[in-house]
Amino acid sequence: MTERPRHDPVLLRRVLELLHPALADRPAVLVDATLGLGGHSDALLSAHPQLTLVGLDRDPNALALAGERLARHGDRVHLVHTVYDGLPDALVGLGLSRVDGVLFDLGVSSMQLDVAERGFAYAKDAPLDMRMDQTTGPTAADVLNEYSAGDLARVLREYGEERFAARIARAVVAERDREPFTTSARLVELLYAAVPAASRRTGGHPAKRTFQALRIEVNAELDVLRRAVPAALAALSVGGRIVVEAYQSLEDRIVKRAITDLARSTAPHGLPVELPEHAPQLRLLTRGAEVADETEVAANPRAQSVRLRAAERVREAP
């Protein structure tokens, strides 16, 4: 059997379909806020010959690889090295004020997971890094070696939804006093010892939640997302569309709230007629969150946890 391509863009057909009405047959602008390897963007640029792409990523390696892949689209492609809450500044830098589409495909790319040295995967012993942008900021090892037991427990509880957060935090502090953490194998070993075997049957690999929590903390993922989605919605022109693919419930909750808040009327209760300024700014394009079907999940395990939400701006922001 031949090996499956490693970077299949998740729910690609659905993303194209949802963005089509906002991008087709006009000189539209799309922001791909999580360019990654450019899989979604490549397909969108091919589908819409007049489309201009603004591709953002905080990972310089991803930008370099996507840049090569998208080179055939010439000057329709603008790549910006930024955390995605820098979207408004990126647009100003390009002389743009409004866009017709925004795509977020959250999380790490398969490329980041596959490069063991980046420390995202717990299956291989590797440096505890986990920074999406390796040019800046503290690493996962810094968090483990420097945070107080209380702060570590909070990170594991809030970002990993880890039941044994306090117990793991105590074990980490005891272990680092012997020797600071540098690579993942020692942490994984500690987690095997700290997480009761009985909980593995329901909770999956004992390292899964701790690794997710460290990654979110190292990259301030949730805080950044809380700023970025409203900024993206504010940049959408009327008729413009946003599509967000989230892979864990903490992110999906932030996305859901930001989108549904603007899809509601703000008319005070009991007002007989809705004034224009109270009308919803967005129309939801998905009922709840959409998931991938079995065929896609079988072909692309990354699609297993995807939750896709989409909306269209129906009136200007006040």
Ligand X SMILES: C[S@@+](CC[C@H](N)C(=O)[O-])C[C@H]1O[C@@H](n2cnc3c(N)ncnc32)[C@H](O)[C@@H]1O
* Contacts to ligand X by CB under 6 A: 7, 9, 34, 36-40, 56-59, 62, 83-84, 105, 107-109, 132, 224
Asked whether 260 and 229 are in contact (CB, 8 A), the reply is no
Q: Which is nearer to ligand X, 62 or 141 (CB)?
A: 62
To ligand X, the closest distance from the beta carbon of 83 in angstroms equals 4
Q: Which residue is nearest to ligand X (CB)?
A: 36
Helix (H, G, I), strand (E, B) or coil at 316: coil
CB of 45 to ligand X, least distance (A): 12
Smallest gap from Cβ 70 to ligand X, in A, equals: 10
State the nearest-atom distance from the C-beta of 214 to ligand X, in Å.
15
Helix axes 208-218, 221-235, angle to 10 degrees: 60
Shortest Cβ 79–ligand X spacing (Å): 12
- Find the length of the chain: 318
User: Minimal distance in Å, beta carbon 25 to ligand X?
Assistant: 24
Q: What is d(CA 98, CA 298) in angstroms, rounded to the nearest whole number?
A: 38
Residue with smaller CB distance to ligand X, 34 or 210: 34
Give SS3 for 167. Answer: helix
| Residue 85 assigned ligand-binding role | no
Residue 38 assigned ligand-binding role: yes
In the complex with ligand X, the residue whose CB is nearer, 226 or 278, is 226
Q: Which is nearer to ligand X, 64 or 238 (CB)?
A: 64
- Residue 164's closest CA among 189, 191, 195? 195
Beta carbon nearer to ligand X, 69 or 167: 69
Annotated binding residue 36: no
Bridge partners, 290 (sequence order): 308
Q: Is 122 annotated as a binding residue?
A: no
Q: Is 212 annotated as a binding residue?
A: no
- Tell me the CB-side half-sphere exposure of residue 268, using CA atoms within 13 A: 1
The rounded radius of gyration (Å) of the Cα atoms in the chain is 21
Q: Any known ligand binding at 107?
A: no
Of residues 109, 132, 102, the one with CA closest to residue 32? 102
Query: Residues 190, 162: contact at Cβ < 8 Å?
Result: no
Count of CB atoms within 10 A of residue 270's CB?
5
The least distance separating ligand X from the CB of residue 126, rounded to whole angstroms, comes to 17
* 15 vs 22, beta carbon nearer ligand X: 15
The residues near 116 (Cβ < 8 Å, ≥ 6 apart) are 124, 126
Nearer Cβ to ligand X, position 112 or 184?
Answer: 112
CB 173 within 8 A of CB 152: yes
Sheet (strand 307-313) strand order: 77-81, 52-57, 29-32, 99-105, 236-246, 307-313, 282-284
Closest CA to 35 of 78, 99, 93: 78
**Least separation in angstroms between CB 263 and ligand X:** 24
In terms of CB distance, is 39 or 160 closer to ligand X? 39
For residue 25, give both structure tokens. Answer: 């047959």
- 39 annotated to bind ligand: yes
Annotated binding site: 38-40, 57, 84, 105, 112
Annotated binding site for S-adenosyl-L-methionine: 38-40, 57, 84, 105, 112
